[in-house]
Amino acid sequence: MPARTVTAETLQDGLRLGQLALAPDGELLAFVVSRGDALTGGMPASRIWVWSGDGGAVPVTADDGALSATPRWSSDASTIAFLSDRESPGLMSLHLLSLRGGPTCGVGHVAGSVERLAWSRRDDAVLVVAADVGSDRGGVATRIDDPSASAPDPRVMRVGQAWRRLYRVAVPDGTTTEVGPEGLTVWDFDASDDCAVAVLSHDPTESGWYQAFLGVIDLRQRTARRLYTPAWQIANPRLSPDGGRAAFVEGICSDRGSEMGTVKVVDLASGTVTALTSDVDIANVAWRDDTRLWYFGRRGMVSTCGSMSCDGRMEEMWSGKAALHGGSASSDGHRLGAVVESLSAPPEVCLLQVDEPGRGWRSVTNLNASLADFDLPPVELLDWVAPDGLHIQGLLVRPRRAADRPAPLVVLVHGGPTGSWSYAFPSGTRHAALLAEAGYAVLLPNPRGSSGRGQDFAQAVVGDLGGAELTDILAGVDSCVAAGVADTGRVGIMGASHGGFIAAWAATQSSRFRASVAMACVSDYLSLHYTSNIGGLDDILFTGKDRITSYLERSPVAYASKCTTPILILHGEEDRCCPLGQAQELYGALVEAGVESELVVYPREGHGWVEREHQLDLWRRIVAWFDRHLGSDP
């Protein structure tokens, strides 16, 4: 069968796989399958699937249009606890699924929307964290509302209205008891029967997460004791099997849910904290035994996984040019699981045998087979040197159709700033593959501030947002021009979130770009700080006593009068992370300055695009904008 040409429509058919959970003996694996888009006004439906060695992978929850997520095994692997919104769309509640037969049933009476869960070690209860109605979701940055309730009129805002609370739900009778401490919000946790180690904050808003600390909760007394106050953000707390220590990840992080950094271990009795230093940025960990941890992480753009001891010794089991997501380990230590994808191979659920790591990852699903036969554009690793001598890396995606002259170049900037590009499908990211198919060369840079190269590199953006990182990007463009890949007179830039800020910022600071596309962007850091739900991030990225001046100095709207680059602005109407006002301010400032610009607002969308027709419309507008101002090569 001949290879197919990649299109926006065909990529929409891809399935998203994640949230893996290996059963304790490694013989069963639960995971979540969802569409990459949704119909108007909804979220992508998802189902729980289970793989077994003798039966392959099959769905175990109904195809009813609901969201099902976060599967967790009981210790005997007879029951899966998971979350679903089948009773009330948009509000996740706890459900149990017995693999021994019987109906799937909801259990417990938890107010709000459940986000995290863990079985007690006796399997007699499930502990859950639920966000009160009125809280904000991470990621898409939309508000959690009760669909059965009338919208408040008027809406009143005051401090401390919505918390994330810890509950104990008895199994099987569903008796529900709040066990978390008063006056603290619980972001993440792991628990034994009587205590939990948790990421806690006094501020219950999304901004509060940036100042969270590690604590231990007495589940009977509902009290909390501070264990560790971090310098940066923390996530992924895990109790050792004997309950004496907790491991967690600490590192600068701009986006809750995408943490990478250094593994640290704290002794619960003494409070002694040990940093397990390595050359790997760790994304998540799990205890292998009382003295060793499993880890999944990145070294540059290369993904890696293995085992590390509490004295810092590393045993790497696999590394390669691929992207790993949702890593899981069986309690018996025989298997690791992850979703694995590469530049040319779509994501599939895979297993790694611990006693045979040389065999590599073995796929146990074929759910994205429809994406496997694309004729994708060639991609190569690009290294260049910034003006201050720092080595920078990125991916260069060449147009699939070879040309006898330099091509127009689009720089695609990742979000964060602590995000990063990796060896992901397709060709690094879907817009890179589509732009290359349309005749553009695409540079995916990982400037300073990106994750994957250690904390010093990630923290280099602090106090200099848009400064040296933009210089890094411009040096990457020079490298592409010098190599004969890019036409120096036809260079564009685009990005979303922090990448959207850089797309707007670069257009006001440099004459290098002929066109810009700013998606879900920041344009005015002063107004953003007081209207965004993550204003706490600004307290990390900006330093110095005069924050007001610092905000304005790094705001694209303040330099709109100097801009000559046409800018297309694309924004979700319900975005609470980068509110719509950011797009409106940028558009108004550009219009006032006489700069060609266009603002497109997508109803119902938050910090990103979920609805299928919106995703397709977004792509058509992007390529049309660059075609108009750069002119793609046929």
Task: Summarize the confidence of residues 230-239 as an average pLDDT.
Answer: 96
Is 188:236 a contact under the CB 8 Å cutoff?
yes
What is the arithmetic mean of pLDDT over 519-530?
Answer: 96
3-class secondary-structure state, position 107 = coil
pLDDT higher than 90, residue 84: yes
Question: Is the pLDDT confidence value at 277 over 80?
Answer: no
- Is 422 a domain residue? yes
pLDDT at position 354 = 94
Q: Strand runs (DSSP E) across 330-419, as ranges?
A: 335-341, 348-353, 362-363, 379-385, 391-397, 407-413
Measured CA to CA in angstroms, residue 14 lies from 3, 70, 368, 438, 482 at distances of: 17, 20, 6, 20, 36
Q: Where does residue 355 rank: exposed (0-12), middle (13-18), buried (19+ CB within 10 A)?
A: exposed
pLDDT at residue number 4: 81
Residues, the chain: 634
Average pLDDT, the chain: 93
C-alpha to C-alpha distance for 402 and 484, rounded to whole angstroms: 13
Residue whose C-alpha is closest to residue 364's, from 28, 73, 69: 28
Q: 473 is in which domain, residue-wise? A: 379-629
Task: Please report how many Cα atoms fall inside a 13 Å half-sphere around the Cα of residue 368, on the Cβ side.
Answer: 29
Q: Is 506 strand, coil or helix?
A: helix
Of 85-89, 381-385, 615-619, the one with minimum mean pLDDT is 85-89
Question: Is the predicted pLDDT of residue 157 greater than 90, yes or no?
Answer: no
Within-domain flag for 505: yes
CA gap 226, 198 in Å, rounded: 10
- Count of domains for the chain: 1
- CA triplet 593, 597, 601: central angle to 5 degrees? 125
Determine which helix (DSSP H) or strand (DSSP E) holds 268, and give its type and residue range.
Answer: none
Please report the pLDDT score of residue 278 as a whole number.
Answer: 79
- Which band of pLDDT confidence, cut at 50, 70 and 90, is reported for residue 126? very high
| Assigned domain for 18 exists | no
Question: Is a pLDDT exceeding 80 seen at residue 1?
Answer: no
Task: Name 38's bridge partners.
Answer: 611
At residue 264, the 3 state secondary structure works out as: strand
The neighbouring-strand residues paired with 262 are 250
Residue range 256-280: mean pLDDT, rounded: 92
Mean pLDDT of 175-191: 96
Helical spans, DSSP H, in 262-309: none
| pLDDT band at residue 322 using 50, 70 and 90 as cut-offs | very high
pLDDT at 401 over 90: no
pLDDT of residue 581: 97
What digits encode the pLDDT tens for the residues 47-70? 999 999 888 999 999 888 899 999
Report pLDDT for 312. Answer: 84
Confidence band for 134, pLDDT divided at 50, 70 and 90: confident
Q: How far apart are CA 632 and CA 196, in angstroms?
A: 56
Q: Of residues 291 and 134, which shows the higher confidence score? A: 291
Let me know if residue 278 belongs to a domain: no
Range 256-260 average pLDDT: 90
Q: Residue 243 falls within a domain, yes or no?
A: no
- The answer to whether residue 624 is domain-embedded is yes
DSSP code for 280:
S
3-state SS class at 48:
strand
Q: Kindly report the pTM of this predicted structure.
A: 0.95
Banded pLDDT at 613 (limits 50, 70, 90): very high
Residue at 84 is within a domain: no
Residue pair 566/595 in contact by the 8 Å Cβ criterion? yes
CATH code of the domain in which 482 resides: 3.40.50.1820
Query: How many angstroms separate the Cα of 403 from the Cα of each of 11, 480, 499, 535, 577?
Result: 25, 15, 29, 46, 41
Q: Region 311-326: what's the mean pLDDT?
A: 93
Q: How far apart are CA 136 and CA 149, in angstroms?
A: 17
Q: What is the pLDDT of residues 477-510, one digit of tens each?
A: 999 999 999 999 999 999 999 999 999 999 999 9
Res 153 pLDDT > 90: no
CA 434 → CA 197, 211, 345, 442, 478, distances in Å?
44, 39, 16, 10, 23
| 561 is a domain residue | yes
Mean pLDDT within 337-362:
95
User: What is the Cα–Cα distance from 218 to 179, expressed in whole angstroms?
Assistant: 8
pLDDT at residue 105 greater than cutoff 90: no
With contact defined as beta carbons under 8 Å apart, do 237 and 189 qualify? yes
Q: What is the dihedral of CA 567, 573, 574, 577, to 10 degrees?
A: 20
Instruction: Decide if pLDDT at 140 tops 80.
Output: no
For residue 233, what pLDDT band results from cuts at 50, 70 and 90?
very high
pLDDT for residue 141 = 64
Dihedral-angle region of residue 578 (phi above 0 means left; psi in -120 to 50 means alpha; beta otherwise): beta
404: pLDDT confidence band, cut at 50, 70 and 90? confident
Count Cβ atoms within 10 A of the Cβ of residue 481 and give its class: 0-12 exposed, 13-18 middle, 19 or more buried. Answer: middle
Phi, psi of 544 (to 5 degrees): 95, 160
What average pLDDT does the segment 129-149 reach?
Answer: 82
Provide the pLDDT for residue 40: 66
Write down the H helix ranges in 105-188: none
